[in-house]
Amino acid sequence: SQQGEEDPQALSIQEGENATMNCSYKTSINNLQWYRQNSGRGLVHLILIRSNEREKHSGRLRVTLDTSKKSSSLLITASRAADTASYFCATEAQAGTALIFGKGTTLSVSS
Amino acid sequence: GAVVSQHPSWVICKSGTSVKIECRSLDFQATTMFWYRQFPKQSLMLMATSNEGSKATYEQGVEKDKFLINHASLTLSTLTVTSAHPEDSSFYICSVRQGSTEAFFGQGTRLTVV
Mean pLDDT for each consecutive 10-residue tract of chain A (111 residues)? Answer: 75 97 94 93 94 97 97 98 96 92 95 91
Superfamily classification of domain A5-110: Immunoglobulins (2.60.40.10)
Buried/exposed B7-23: b ≥16 CB within 10 Å, e otherwise = eeeebebeeeeebebbb
Nearest to B100 among A35, A42, A96 (CB): A96
Cβ–Cβ below 8 Å for B100 and A2: no
The one-letter code for the residue type at A99 is: L
Cβ–Cβ below 8 Å for A41 and B49: no
Closest CA in chain A for residue B40: A40
Query: Which tens digits make up the pLDDT trace of B55-71?
Result: 999 999 999 999 999 99
Mean pLDDT across chain A, nearest whole number?
93
Domain ranges in chain A are: 5-110
Query: Which tens digits make up the pLDDT trace of B63-107?
Result: 999 999 999 899 999 999 999 999 999 999 999 988 888 899 999
Sign, CA dihedral A79-A80-A81-A86, equals: negative
Nearest to B46 among A1, A30, A33 (CB): A1
Query: Which tens digits make up the pLDDT trace of A54-78?
Result: 999 999 999 999 999 999 999 999 9
Neighbouring residues of A106: CB distance < 8 A, sequence distance ≥ 6: A9, A10, A11, A85, A86, A87, B41
Q: What whole-number distance in Å separates Cα of residue A60 and Cα of residue A45?
A: 14
Our CA-based measurement puts residue B46 at a distance from the nearest CA of chain A, in whole angstroms, of: 6
Nearest to A2 among B41, B43, B104 (CB): B43
